[in-house]
Amino acid sequence: MLELIDGMKKSSQREFEELLNIIERLRRECPWDKKQTFETLRHLTIEEVFELSETILEKDYDGLKEELGDIIMHVVFYASLAKENDLFDIADVLDEINRKLIRRHPHVFGTVAVKDEKDVLENWEKIKLTEGKKSVLEGIPRSLPPINKAYRVQEKVSSVGFDWNDVQDVLNKVQEEFQELKEEIKNNDRDRIKEELGDLLFSVINLARFLSIDPEEALEQTNKKFIQRFKEVEIRLNDEGKSLVNSSLGEMDDVWNKIKKEEKTNK
C-alpha cells in the first residue's frame, strides 16, 4: 500500500512539473499567452470557476476533472506571472497554503481537542483574528455574487455564535420581513420597497443556510424546472395550432397546471 501511495505521489509530481514546464514554454513562445497579465486572466478565472460549479451541480465528473485542470492551470499561470515580476513563485504559494492549513487545524496537527464541525469553525475564525484580521467578516470578496456573499456572511457570524436557536426563529424572521415588504408596497415608497425586499431575500438565504441547503443550487434547480415547464407549454400550444402570442394567460395557465399535475403523478 505504501508503495502504491508513493507511486501516486511521484506520478502527481511528474505531471505537475510538466504543467510548470508547459506554462513556461507558452509564456515564451505563444503570442496570446505572452500578452496575458493578472488583470487579463482575472475574468477568465471567474468564468472557469462558474464552469467548475456547473459540473458539480450536474454531477458531471468527467467535466469536473477537466475543469479542475483548468483551475490548476490558472493557478500556475498566475504564479508564473508573479515569478517573472520577482514577486513570488509556485513554491511560495504552496508553502503559504501548507502553513495556513497546519496553523488553522490545531485539532489535527496540534493538541487542541474539538467535539464537532462547529468547534472547528469557531477555532478557525478565532485563529484568523490572531493572524491580524480585525473582523470575522474580513476576506469576503466585495465582488462575490450577492447570494454567495449573503450566505458566507451568515456562515461566518454563525461560527462565532451570532445565530438563531432553531428553524422556527428563522421562519418567523422571514415572515416578519415579508410583512414589512407588504407594508412598504402599500406605501409605494420605492427606496423602502427595495430595502425591505433585500431584507427578505437575506432572510430566505439565511433559512436555506439553517437548513443546510445551498440557496444558489436550490434557485438553479427551480430555474431549470421553470425553463423545462415553459418550453413544454410552448410545445403543447404549438401542437394545438396555437402560440404564446395568440394564447390567453388562462390558456397558458391551464397547460402549465396540467404539466405540473403530470409531474407529480409521475414522481
Q: pLDDT per residue over 138-156, tens digit each? A: 888 888 889 999 999 999 8
- Give the type of residue at 181: L
pLDDT at 3: 59
| Nearest CA among 198, 179, 236, 220 for reference residue 53 | 220
What cell numbers appear for 48 in the block? 472557469
| Nearest CA among 72, 81, 73, 71 for reference residue 37 | 81
Note the pLDDT tens digit of each residue in 66-87.
999 999 999 999 999 999 999 9
Chain-centre distance of CA 79, in angstroms?
24
pLDDT at 30: 97
Query: Residue 206 in contact with residue 173, Cβ under 8 Å?
Result: yes
pTM exceeds cut of 0.95 = no
Q: How many helices (H) and strands (E) does the chain have?
A: 12, 0
Asked whether the predicted pLDDT for residue 111 surpasses 80, the reply is yes
pLDDT at 236: 93
Please enumerate in sequence order all residues whose Cβ is within 8 A of that of 23, keeping only pairs 6 or more positions apart, or say none. Answer: 33, 73, 76, 77, 80
